[in-house]
Structure 1
Amino acid sequence: MVQRVTATDEALKLIDTLKEIHGPLMFHQSGGCCDGSSPMCYPRDELRIGDSDCLLGDIGGTPFYMSKDQYEYWKHTQLIIDAVEGRGGMFSLEGPEGKRFLTRSRVFTEEERRILEEK
């Protein structure tokens, strides 16, 4: 199965840590149109999701959203969410942990794009 969003082992560990502290989580890729941007992590349902947002999938049992307009820039790529040392976004939950989530990407192959279009 082709996934639009995946996570590294480091990101999954950080998600588990944050779930223990905050309970269920959600992600929103807010801003950033290229590798190195940071998705925001919130307590689940803290950020209102609307008609202008789309669900890309989930990582570590946590839903991952992006605005539809921004998705137009990213639709040809698979997002790979990583966790690295450093400070994240001011409102993102991982900040106090001394780590931040980081978005990396890779272009889908022709076969993967075909599969995704059939969904």
Structure 2
Amino acid sequence: MSQANTAANVAQDAIDLLNATTEQLDMLAATLRAIRKAYPVEFANLRDGIRSGLLDARHLTDLGLGALADWRDFMTAQTGDLTTQLDYAREIAEQAQAVRTPSGHDAEGGAQ
């Protein structure tokens, strides 16, 4: 296996990992949204301590959702950048391979 193929495989594995991580972030965000939605709109009848705890939990959930959105955007951008770089590297490698093997290059030219 050539170094180019090995590098391409590693890059593809990194892209797959970024995609899987993004999916996990989406699942966590859905869980946090469900937790937030579960809080009653009105809990004025609850004791102050309980009400304060619920507000703290709701605030932390909101902070978590904000952080998740930021991380998801970052991961999506990283995935896109890495995919673009990998596609470009593969294209360059294919062009270099076509130049090194004239018979393959001739076959490509003859097919057009």
Q: From the CA coordinates, give the structure whose radius of gyration is larger.
A: 2
What is the TM-score normalised by the length of structure 1?
0.22
Higher strand share goes to which structure?
1
Structure with the bigger RCO (C-alpha within 8 Å, sep 6+) is 2
TM-score normalised per structure 2: 0.23
Structure that is richer in helix per residue: 2
